[in-house]
Structure 1
């Protein structure tokens, strides 16, 4: 069965934003994109600076590590010599070493007090 009195009427369409409104939205988007690009550039510069600082600090830490290794080896050799001297040198050498240590401490005390 057909309806003969039915007439089709499309829904009223919402008129889109005017051209002026679209232009202002595009300008706002371009401004936001430019600001974002500036912020990205600043972040890139900052990360490059952080990377350079990390490499510099790593170089310093490796240098300190090498210095500590050398100092540890020197101290180990010195301690071995002191122990050997203590075992085979007798009391005469130990007395001289004790007097020398006292003299160094006294000298340091005087230098610190005079400052």
Structure 2
């Protein structure tokens, strides 16, 4: 029967310590990778949501641009017309606004 020397038992025990430490580090790395994967999935979901919101805003701005373009076209058409007629309408509108404001102030 052969007896294990001090060096042989220590070497075998040292190997187990390193193996256990390696397993602990591997488990810690696995947890970090899982957390990182979860975070990246959440970021991807958030990016998709924000892209959808931006697309909706883009279509809203396009429709507003169309509306402004039509309004500008009407203003150009109005400015090409008879200037005295436009000036008369603006004066009548201003008088109407002043009359309404005067009437509201008097009622108080």
Q: Note whether the superposition's TM-score is higher than 0.5.
A: yes
Aligned to 1:109: none
Unmatched segments (≥5 aa) in structure 2: 1-6, 98-108
Aligned to 1:23: 16
TM-score by length of 1: 0.66
Aligned mates of 2:18, 2:77 — CA distance in 1 = 87
| Aligned residue-pair number | 90
Is the alpha carbon distance of 1:28 and 1:97 closer, same or farther for their aligned partners in structure 2, counting shifts above 3 Å? farther
Of Structure 1 and Structure 2, the greater helix share is in 2
The CA deviation string for residues 35-93 of structure 1, in whole angstroms up to 9 with x for no partner, is 00000001101100110111011111111110110000000001101110111253333
Is the alpha carbon distance of 1:33 and 1:93 closer, same or farther for their aligned partners in structure 2, counting shifts above 3 Å? same
Residue 62 of structure 2 corresponds to residue 69 of structure 1: yes
| RMSD of Structure 2 on Structure 1 (CA) | 2.8
Residue 49 of structure 2 corresponds to residue 56 of structure 1: yes
Residue 85 of structure 2 corresponds to residue 92 of structure 1: yes
Aligned mates of 1:85, 1:32 — CA distance in 2 = 78
